[in-house]
Each structure stands twice: as C-alpha cells, then as structure tokens.
Amino acid sequence: MRILLILIGIVFAHSALAEILVPVRTIRAKEIIAAEDLVFKNIQSPGALSSPEEVIGQEARIALYASRPIHAGDIGPPALVDRNDLVKLIFRHGGLEISTEGRSLGRGAEGELIRVMNLSSRTTVTGRIRADGNIEVN
C-alpha cells in the first residue's frame, strides 16, 4: 500500500503543470521582447520563466521559438554598445577626468565589462559600460 501511494505521488509530481511564458512568434537574437510577444501556457518545464516582469524589455540572447519555454539564460538586459561602435572612454581619479574616443571590440549592456580600442594610442583597454553608453576605464 505504501509503495502504491509513493508511486501515485511521483506520477502527480511529474504531471504537475505550471503557467509559464512562451513567445507567440519566433523572436530573433538581439531583439527586445515586448508584452505582445508573450502568452501564458500550461506546460511542464523546469526552470522556465513565468513572470512577465522578468522577460518584458529584455533582449533575446538566442532565438526564442514560438510556444517554447523561455529560461533565464535565454534573455538578458538590452545591449547599449555594439561591436565597432564609437564610444567615449572616461578615466576618473580623484578630481581628474580624462576622456577620449574609442572603438568597442564587443557588445554589452549596462554594467558589463567590455574591451575597447583607444583611438588615440591604439591600445586596448577594458572598461565598464555606463547607463549613458560611455565606457568608464580604471
């Protein structure tokens, strides 16, 4: 009897459905996800996102296919800087601020580290992307 109850519990645990978010259309990588791109669907998918606040306004890191679950690693904050963009490099130390022009060697969102070529010296530096799209170098 006890084994039967355990088996019934396992069957119910595996058949539990949850409301998760799925795209209504294919969303290409680097595309911003909007509310009209999503619907709720009752399916079983461990780790799938179910909160619209977590998904809307984020950027697809990979192609998201219609009716397939969205996982946390599939999306991220929108990129502010693309590869080969001209950016402003800013160095601050105490009251001193030096700025120059650079070319981004990668793509990234606010707060991420990115490599940039200083156009004046042709050296490669690493800096953090600020909210305004400038790169702060330390």
Which has the higher per-residue pLDDT, 18 or 104?
104
pLDDT, residue 130, reads 96
Residue 32 lies in a domain: yes
Residues 90, 70 within the same domain? no
Strand 124-129 to 135-137 pairing: antiparallel
37-56 per-position pLDDT tens digit: 999 999 889 999 999 999 99
Least confident of 12-16, 21-25, 27-31, 128-132: 12-16
Residue 98 lies in a domain: yes
Overall size of the chain counted in residues: 138
Beta bridge partners of 52: none
Distances (CA, A) of 49 to 3, 15, 26, 39, 99: 34, 18, 17, 12, 41
Total domain count, the chain: 2
Mean pLDDT of the chain: 89
Distances (CA, A) of 107 to 25, 26, 77, 83: 25, 22, 12, 5
End of a domain among 40, 56, 76? 76
Measured distance CA(22)–CA(31) in Å, rounded? 15
